[in-house]
Amino acid sequence: MTHSGQAGVNQLGGVFVNGRPLPVCVRARIVELAQLGVRPCDISRQLLVSHGCVSKILSRYYETGSIAPGNIGGSKPKVATPLVVKKIMSYKRKNPSIFAWEIRDRLLRERVCDKNTIPSISSINRIIRNGTYFTHDEECVLNDILFHIILRFK
């Protein structure tokens, strides 16, 4: 194998590379067998792929119609548009005791966001705290700048 990840052998004897997605041909075979009525536990044993992996691939396929693996590493892009920030702040103004998870549910229910664009609970809390949206790194930089400004005026 040419991957730099750590290779291993699962409990079924199948070879995998930690942190790397299952090859598309194996993913396609998993879906094909499932469509033929083969149970996930039998697919797992036949293809030497863990049951959890089979279940995850089938779940994603049933949900999105895709067998493509998810993104590896990297951070999620900013998803809080000005409209989303405005909605979050509006919900909080109208109901100051509302929880971030309730805001998240409401953004989905009212179709302000979908499952691909919904901010995380920590992002919603950050938006409420700042009145705007910053990534964690940006927030750290801003806090550092504020700290140095405060020190200068003491």
Give per-residue pLDDT as tens, 7-55.
677 777 776 666 677 888 888 899 999 999 999 999 988 988 888 889 9
**Residue 2: pLDDT band with limits 50, 70, 90:** very low
**Domain identity same for 87 and 143:** yes
pLDDT at 136: 58
pLDDT at 106: 96
In a domain, 69, yes or no: no
Domain that holds residue 129: 82-152
pLDDT at 5: 55
Q: Residues 61-118: pLDDT tens digits?
A: 888 788 887 765 555 555 577 888 889 999 998 999 999 999 999 999 999 998 888 8
pLDDT at 115: 85
**Domain identity same for 104 and 56:** no
Domain count, the chain: 2
**Domain identity same for 14 and 51:** yes
Cα torsion angle, 40, 46, 50, 53, sign = negative
